[in-house]
Amino acid sequence: MSITVEIPTPLRRLTAGAPRVVCSVANLNELFSELDSRSPAWKPHLHDEAGETRRFLNIYVNEEDIRFIGGASYSFRDGDEVLLVLRSRRGAIDNRPCTTIRAILNRREIA
């Protein structure tokens, strides 16, 4: 089973500039482990010392907020599209003015 993960622009340095990565993982914890194994620099951006998802990281699966479809226990399905969205402290998404997540998802770009 494979999923596609959209990488936000500020984190693309961790993927050699790639806007997306394909992973074969079953759940969020496995996704975090997979990304950590590709580059240890991922860890502080994904989860805290207790293993909890960072508060400034929103995760969407097929345009649904993962918190409302099972959170860390959600089981990915083949072909799922995962979108990582960084929030700033001021409410901007990816250092842009406040925008709805739907607009970002509809554009299919995080640049």
Which residues, in sequence order, are CB contacts of 97 under 8 Å at separation 6+?
none
Record the tokens describing residue 75, joined without a space. 């089981």
Mean pLDDT, rounded, of the chain: 82
Q: Is 64 helix (H, G, I), strand (E, B) or coil?
A: strand
30: tokens are 């496995």
Per-residue pLDDT tens digits for 51-73: 788 888 899 999 999 999 999 89
Residue range 31-46, pLDDT digits in tens: 999 999 998 888 888 8
Buried b (16+ CB within 10 A) or exposed e, 73-92: ebebeeebebbbbbeeeeee
Residue with tokens 């409302």: 68
Give kind and range of the element (H or E) at residue 110: none
In this prediction, residues 89-107 reach a mean pLDDT of 49
**pTM greater than 0.85 (yes/no):** no
The pLDDT of 7-22, averaged and rounded, is: 92
Phi-psi region of 91 (alpha: psi -120 to 50; beta: other; left: phi over 0): left
Distance, first Cα to last Cα, the chain: 27
